[in-house]
Amino acid sequence: MAGPLSHVKVLDLSRVMAGPWAGQMLADLGADVIKVERPGAGDDTRSWGPPFLTAADGSPTREAGYFLSVNRGKRSVAVDLDQPQGQAVVRALAARSDILIENFKVGTLARFGLSYEDLKPLNRGLIYCSITGFGQTGPRASHAAYDFLIQAMGGLMSVTGERAGRPGAGPQKVGLPIVDIMTGMYASVAVLAALARRTETGEGDFIDLGMLDVQTGILANQAMNHLVSGRVPQRTGNAHPNIQPQDVFPCADGDLVIVVGNDAQFVKLCQGLGAPALAADERFITNAARVRHVDALREALAMVLAGQSRQHWISRLEPLGVPCGPINTIDEVFDDPQVRHRAMRVDLPHPLAGTVPQVANPIRFRAAPIEYHRAPPLLGEHTLEVLRELGLEPGH
């Protein structure tokens, strides 16, 4: 069955992570996504390795794992935007597209005659999503940005990492490009909202999406903690700033994560630990009290938990409904029975490697399940195919 976006055509002029993540999401949902890349080099992430995909004969390819993570389902067209012919191809593609995604610096595409204002006369229904580090306006609008920088500037690193005074204290970035990914997710929501509006008005739209805006927007409870109290949130390591106990605790054979979300779960935790007196301690009776006395709470729990293995405690706490579990490495994630059951790894045919592994889309439709038809493309793999669809020939 065709995907829910099988009627939608997307022109992906983006590189690296945020824009390509949005493009891959739309491709997973069935859209025809055409990725425009520089001849000879392609998306920057094609060279961001090792690791690189291994060919069927055992030799390395030029397909970096980074690129393979965000470009599934797309067709690659290699054209030079510096040349009039390349600009003409993009205009022809834009004229027949529903959505255009780009993440060039502010003003760059206007120099090529490919801004929203340039393309709107060709396609009044075009939804043009522009992703930049800082948005189209403001004192930093012309500045370049990457995920790491925005994690720092947007406050995320100030609340990530071990708290001051503890071993290893200091700000830390998240271990994956979370701002890029969230920007891609916001872009996906935005273009689909504009697409829904277009069914009512017939008009497209211009979407201005800045990564610093996104990072500020996802500060969530930490932002409101500050805005409500006037206090500046600090790093708390793995401990949750508002809910306790939610932390990492050492057991006899490794670390265990315990995530208690309410007072009833805390009572069950104490029951499972064989320490009912903790649930009756006035310092720990309510969540607010536990947050105020978090150091004493952690010490009391740590003394109990250190005496047994992780599996011992998991086998006692899970039946009581207390959320807990190990800290899995990436290989352990893909070997987890739940992850395996949910088929979160898929393998797609690949012209060089035979197959290429992919992380499945977590969305599960009942009526129109996501199907994966195309591996991340080789550079320019579909150039001739797409040019012929446009009625063009190479060099024209």
Token pair 């993570």: residue? 69
Q: What is the rounded distance in angstroms from the CA atom of residue 204 to the CA atom of residue 76?
A: 25
Q: What is the rounded distance in angstroms from the CA atom of residue 88 to the CA atom of residue 214?
A: 33
**Exposed/middle/buried for residue 368 (C-beta within 10 Å: 0-12, 13-18, 19+):** middle
| Helix-then-strand count for the chain, H and E | 17, 13
Catalytic residue among 28, 180, 205, 247: 180
* Residue 234: strand pairing partners: none
Q: What is the rounded distance in angstroms from the CA atom of residue 325 to the CA atom of residue 303?
A: 18
Are the CB atoms for 13 and 63 separated by under 8 Å? no
Picking from 81, 80, 78, the residue whose alpha carbon sits closest to that of residue 46 is: 78
Catalytic: 82? no
Tell me the three-class secondary structure of 293-342, residue by residue.
Answer: CHHHHHHHHHHHHCCCCHHHHHHHHHHHCCCEEECCCHHHHHHCHHHHHC
Provide the annotated active-site residues: 180
